[in-house]
Amino acid sequence: MKQTLIKGGRVLDPETGIDGVMDILIENGKIAEIGNEKSKIQNPKSKIIDASGKLVTPGLIDIHTHLREPGHEYKETVESGCLAAAHGGFTAICCMPNTEPVNDNQSVTDYILRKANMAVGVRVYPVGAISQGLRGESLAEYGEMKSAGVVAVSDDGNPVMNAQLMRRALEYAKGFGLLVISHCEDRNLTANGAMNEGATATRLGLAGIPNAAETVMVARDIALCELTDAPLHIAHVSAEGSVRLIRDAKARGLQLTAETAPHYFSLTEEAVMNYDTNAKVYPPLRTDRDRDAVWQGLRDGTIDVIASDHAPHSSVEKDLEFDAAANGLIGMETSLPLSLKLVEMGLLSLKDLIAKMSTNPARILELDYVGLKRGNPADLTIIDLEKKFTVDANTFCSKSRNTPFNGWELKGKAVLTMVRGKIVFDDR
């Protein structure tokens, strides 16, 4: 029997309420026992991992990433994306369908999962397209994709502008037990905008994108969620008005969940003052007021999940004038330390943060394992909360380098990532 004993770490699991110095015994890839020091789980045959002084949590889950394969392997592959995930402390990731070809059918889903099976061991959950080719004209084959392994559908990167098609998507997905993840954007309002609309955009001479471009679509999709009684997840929330609408809708009991990304609570539009294209993202970085609203949404539970929205781009797409550069930044290797700053600032408890990066995504995706329980697969992350480091994009496992956080001094880092009892990253 293959055994591993993780000794003496602070085990924190929002799902079970465990928070204390404990040992975890792992047998054949599953959690066999969790006990406090008095229980003295002992087995001389076990491999010992000393977690003293470290935090042991359920494996982190990133509900929103882009792996670029197939089609744009020069930016990221499934293998390099999984390596980046493991180094960031993630045991599972969801990859969006805007590949080339689009993941709107069984063969592309099969391809991604085959690649994932050959990679480092991080779990990959593909997200299928809402519409064929992400064109927003006709629905993709949800049953076929569900059978192949998708856990949700989204046209992320593109909004579903046709409200009737979005209604049908919610109804159709509900029938297959699939979550709809909405990219909320009114393309008529975003037009040719390059950054957040306001005084900063005017000073820089750049066309702006109003908050309303996001908020009006959040309002529409909340109405459709209420009409269809189907689960809906709002991606990358960035605007004050969106947070307010989601809060009100959740108070009415709708099946609504939401995510934001570390750049929306770590940066504002000031980050693009020097035309840094690494800070050009979509939705755009917004104002102090919007960032404060995101903070409040995280604190009061309006926003359930912190996701990276990891979007790799090469210098070919980023080393251009600001208007022409691609939107997106890479985030899997900085998400955890940036999010830990919320704890340091007193905005979130450590327990709430781990819930938003682990157990909440697992519950939203209806995974058949949540938290650190006896019999569950041994998916866990060991975090050194005191580890300080300087972000160096050249050391990233991702194939891309488009981060505005390069050179930042951060504190707190994953030092071991384990999936099904197998160590996929170890930097203790």
| Residue in 123, 20, 19 with CA at minimum distance from that of residue 417 | 123
63 φ, ψ (degrees, to nearest 5): -80, -5
42 φ, ψ (degrees, to nearest 5): -135, 135
Q: How far is CA 85 from CA 23, 54, 332, in A?
A: 25, 20, 6
* The two structure tokens encoding residue 145: 């994709």
Q: How far is CA 125 from CA 13, 363, 365, in A?
A: 22, 14, 10
Are 207 and 189 a contacting pair, CB within 8 Å?
no
Q: Is 309 one of the catalytic residues? A: yes
Residues 6+ apart with CB under 8 A from 50: 7, 8, 428
Catalytic residue of the set 309, 323, 368, 392:
309
d(CA 286, CA 238) in angstroms, rounded, equals 7
Q: Which long-range contacts (CB under 8 A, 24 or more apart) does 340-348 make?
A: 340/385, 340/410, 340/411, 340/412, 341/266, 341/410, 341/411, 342/265, 342/295, 342/298, 344/411, 347/295, 347/298, 347/299, 348/298, 348/299
Do β-strands 256-260 and 30-36 pair in parallel, antiparallel, or remain unpaired? unpaired
d(CA 302, CA 386) in angstroms, rounded, equals 29
Asked if the bond preceding 377 is cis, omega within 30° of 0, the reply is no
Residues 6+ apart with CB under 8 A from 148: 106, 109, 110, 113, 126
Beta strand spans in 14-53 (E): 18-27, 30-36, 47-50
Active centre residues (catalytic): 309
